[in-house]
Structure 1
Amino acid sequence: MKAEEMWNKYCKDPSISYDTWSFGGDPDHLAKLVAEGIKTATCSAYVFYELEDEKLPEEGEYSVILDSQDEAVCIIKTTRVYIESYHNISEQHAYKEGEGKRTLEEWRKIHEKFFTEELKSVNLEFNEDMKLVCEEFEVVYQ
């Protein structure tokens, strides 16, 4: 199902907007974790919002989560947004991200590799002091 089709099944109010996106790294696996209620948080590098002059996510916003084929998996509503340095990410946030054993140690291992590769694309290097945009969300439709 395409994003617009899923959105129209969920919401009949044309004044309410939504975004569409997929997770980096492994979009199919991560979207599945969201749909199963295991993954309830994510983060992204703040520097990309600056470089792309993109607004930060906000509480109350809706997103249709896509898989690697741009098919809609579910709709989420953002419940919390905050900025945190990579080195200050909490055990709680790592757990909510839902990957692997859901420990901070594993979160750091996965995300250092991910951010290192992502930052290379804009000729930047990974740094543990880098700011992250952290989001928490809930599934509202699937």
Structure 2
Amino acid sequence: MKNLPFIILLLLASCKSEPKTEAPTETEIDPTVYAMWEDYSQAHPETKSEEMPESWFFHDNQKDADRLAKLVIDGKKRASSGLYKWYGDAGADLPAVGTKSIITNFDGTAQAIIEIVQVDTIPFKQISEAYAAMDMGTQEEPLPKWKKAHRAFFESTFEDGPETFSEDMLVVCETFKTIWPIK
């Protein structure tokens, strides 16, 4: 069950279904992850007693994972979305405000530390333009881009089962801030 949060995060962060190439396994944590947490802890002594957060990358391929990590570093990507149903299916708790994660690029190299600042559950059809802009990391037609990318991915997760996508499906909307590195 230790891998369950990693699998859920990977699944939730994905936007479209593409074949995955080689990426490090959870047990192969890149040394840069430890170094980034150590640097952050040195700068924030109040976190010395905290366990190192999980590290993971957005999406399911190198191009998108690396692009999204850069958007996080640049402060443009400040949200992530997943289906509420997935949490129930996995028997997992919803994300919690205050949870930190170390975002990596696809090869596992640490890029940033984020902290969840808000979690909402909203029907797909009610996602706002402002939220879509935070999730997509763009101001250019963020809502149509968000809906197209997320609908395609969500639909792909139902391909082998009896369920189908519905615009009434609940989406878990995580808003986060990048807390390291500080720009």
Shorter-chain TM-score tier:
0.7 to 0.9
**Cα 1:69/1:121, change in 2 over 3 Å:** farther
Q: Please give the root-mean-square deviation of Cα atoms over the aligned residues, in Å.
A: 2.0
Query: What's the secondary structure of 1:24's corresponding residue?
Result: coil
Instruction: Give 2:50's aligned residue.
Output: 16
Are the counterparts in 1 of residues 78 and 137 from structure 2 also a CA contact under 8 Å? no
Instruction: Give 1:79's aligned residue.
Output: 117
Distance 1:27 1:39 in 2: 12
Letter in 2 for 1:16: E
Which entry has the higher C-alpha Rg, 1 or 2? 2
5+ unaligned residues in a row in structure 1: which ranges? Answer: none
Distance 1:137 1:121 in 2: 32
Instruction: Give 2:36's aligned residue.
Output: 6
Correspondence for 2:75 among 17, 37, 41: 37
TM score, norm. by length of structure 2: 0.70
Structure 1 residue runs of 4 or more that deviate by more than 4 Å after TM superposition: none
Query: What's the secondary structure of 2:157's corresponding residue?
Result: helix
Higher RCO (CA < 8 A, seq sep 6+): 1
Calculate percent identity across the aligned residue pairs.
32
Please report how far the alpha carbon of residue 129 of structure 1 lies from its aligned counterpart in structure 2 after TM superposition: 1.2
**Cα 1:16/1:121, change in 2 over 3 Å:** farther
Is residue 126 of structure 2 the alignment partner of residue 88 of structure 1? yes
> Which shows bigger deviation, 70-79 or 118-127?
118-127
Correspondence for 2:176 among 100, 121, 137: 137
Query: What's the secondary structure of 1:49's corresponding residue?
Result: helix
Distance 1:124 1:107 in 2: 22
Are the counterparts in 2 of residues 62 and 78 from structure 1 also a CA contact under 8 Å? yes
Please report how far the alpha carbon of residue 68 of structure 1 lies from its aligned counterpart in structure 2 after TM superposition: 1.1
Are the counterparts in 1 of residues 72 and 78 from structure 2 also a CA contact under 8 Å? yes
Distance 2:160 2:131 in 1: 26
Is residue 165 of structure 2 the alignment partner of residue 116 of structure 1? no
**Cα 1:61/1:112, change in 2 over 3 Å:** same
Is residue 138 of structure 2 the alignment partner of residue 103 of structure 1? no
Please report how far the alpha carbon of residue 122 of structure 1 lies from its aligned counterpart in structure 2 after TM superposition: 6.0
Q: Show CA shifts across 1:61-98 (max 9, x none).
A: 11101211122110001111111111110111011113
Aligned residue pairs, count: 142
Is residue 65 of structure 2 the alignment partner of residue 27 of structure 1? yes
